[in-house]
């Protein structure tokens, strides 16, 4: 008997709620006929990181080749200090690499594990200057001198190597 009494009470309360304009869960509001707005959390967009492009050049002799990495790095390489970075490899008489980073003195490494010099389409002819970011390089028959705008530099040639 209680069941038969509970059903009409339930039906009447549902009808009263519908007639009073109370929206049904997830359904349209009775007044507007438009879907109800639900409180949602704003979706945070993850910022996309844009990478620069490495720039390569070689000396006319083919003995010295350089790679410039812009600030922030590239998709495949990010300098430890965030860049920019300029590194130049010399093949003969002994393979070595000179590097200038964002700050500090130039570094020369003689034990280079990833020897890959010197293939690039951009040749900086003798007497010409190459420049990008804080770096400028001077190509001469006697070698390549590269410096950062604060005065730190390196010189690579077959006869000499200097880093400061």
pLDDT, position 20: 47
pLDDT, position 116: 79
pLDDT, position 146: 98
Q: What are the average pLDDT values for consecutive 10-residue runs of the chain, which has 164 residues?
A: 42 43 50 59 61 92 96 92 95 96 96 83 96 98 98 97 97
The 10s digit of each residue's pLDDT in 90-113 is 999 999 999 999 999 999 999 988
Q: What is the DSSP string of 63-105?
A: SEEEEEE-TT--SS---TTS--EEEEEE-SSS-EEEEE-SSS-
pLDDT, position 58: 96
pLDDT, position 13: 45
pLDDT, position 136: 98
Q: How far apart are CA 39 and CA 37, in angstroms?
A: 7
pLDDT, position 46: 57
pLDDT, position 47: 55
- What does residue 134 show for φ and ψ, rounded to 5 degrees? -90, 10
């Amino acid at each position: 008997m209680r069941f038969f009494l509970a059903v009409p009470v339930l039906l009447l309360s549902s009808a009263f709620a519908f007639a009073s304009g109370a929206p049904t869960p997830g359904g349209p509001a009775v007044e507007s006929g438009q879907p109800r707005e639900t409180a949602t959390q704003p979706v945070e967009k993850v910022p996309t990181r844009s990478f620069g492009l490495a720039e390569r050049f070689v000396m006319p002799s083919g003995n010295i080749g350089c790679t410039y990495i812009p600030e922030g790095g590239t998709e495949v390489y990010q300098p430890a200090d965030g860049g920019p970075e300029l590194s130049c490899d010399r093949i003969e008489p002994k393979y070595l690499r000179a590097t200038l980073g964002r700050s500090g003195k130039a570094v020369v490494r003689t034990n280079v594990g990833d020897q890959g010099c010197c293939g690039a389409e951009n040749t900086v002819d003798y007497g010409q200057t190459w420049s990008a970011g804080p770096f400028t390089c001077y190509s001469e028959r006697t070698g390549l001198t590269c410096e950062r705008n604060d005065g730190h530099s390196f010189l690579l040639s077959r006869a000499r190597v200097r880093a400061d």
